[in-house]
Each structure stands twice: as C-alpha cells, then as structure tokens.
Amino acid sequence: MADKKDLIIVEAITNVYLENYKKIKEELNKIAPIHIVSLNYTQYSSRYDAFLEGKIAPVFDPKKDGGALMDLNIYNIHLAAGLFGLPDKVKYYANMQKGIDTSGILHLSYPDKQVTLIGSKDSYVTPRSFIEGEKGSIYFDGSTGTLDNFTVEMRGQKPKRYNLNKYSHRMVSEFTALPR
C-alpha cells in the first residue's frame, strides 16, 4: 500500500530523535571502553491490577502486541541498538502471567560488552539506567523513552548533568525529524 501511494513506512520510536540521545552517543568515546550496560524501563501498569482480576487490556494481550517486551522494552532495544549496533547474541528471560510477559530481561551480548535491558509492567521502582566504561559512566533516571536528563561521571571528576531536549513533549523531536 505504501508503494502505491509513494510513501515510506517507519517505526515511530521517540528516544533516538531526542537531543539527549545524540549527546549520550557523543559522550560514549569519553567513557570507553564500555563493558557493562543496564537499561531499565519499569513502569507499574495502571491496568495491571485489573489484569490480575482477569480483565485483559490491549497492553496485556499478546494478540495486540502487548507485554513488557513489545510495549516498554522496545525503547531499551532501540536505545541499545542505536548506541552500540546489533548484538551477536540475544536471549529473553520473561516473567509470564496468563500467557503474556508482564516483565522480563533481554540480554544482548557483544564481543566487548554485555547489555541488560529490563522492561517491567508488574513492578514499582524509579528506573535507573547505566552505561559503564573504564574511564567513566553515563547514567539517567526515568524512562528510556523520554531520556529527560542524564549524567556523565568521569573517574576522579565531578559528575556533569545534561538536559538538552528542546521540547517538553517527547514526540516533537521525532515528528520534526521525520519529514526530512
């Protein structure tokens, strides 16, 4: 259909269009070599309690691409692939309830680093993510989908905090980039 209408289809993912993402990518060489990465998108679902009672909303319906991997961990996947490329090995460890992954850990193995991606709809925590290198680290709190701010901490130096996103809504950077 897209070919007939002279259109292209792209996956809409917000984090790789954000200014903070671009700056994180620039900072990677400063902390390199990188050995350990942990990206966490945990968000206790407002529909989880109803799910436990048997009311299945689309976010918990495998027929509608629900579940932690497809709904939350997808942001971690895009972030990791954008920063480090494609891994050599991938393994998903899911916590399954009623036929859907309500949380899980996706492990990405690279020749020089190990990457853990956590996506959870059934737990409560303020998520924190880390990119750990020999010379320093990059870390941020909150959603990997919005990357509201991040900190670069070089070994033996004061941490430097960044918030370079231009817009308060996470989708504006993506929408302005797509027409190009």
Q: How many CB atoms are closer than 10 A to CB 33?
A: 11
Q: Which domains does the chain have, with CATH numbers?
A: 15-177 (3.30.360.10)
Q: How far apart are alpha carbons 27 and 29 in whole angstroms? A: 6
**pLDDT interval class at 165 (50, 70, 90):** confident
* Residue 33 preceded by cis peptide, ω within 30: yes
Q: What is the mean pLDDT of residues 40-55?
A: 98
Strands 34-42, 114-120: pairing kind: parallel
pLDDT in tens, 21-33: 999 999 999 999 9
- Burial of 39: CB neighbours in 10 Å, binned 0-12, 13-18, 19+: buried
Q: Model pTM? A: 0.89
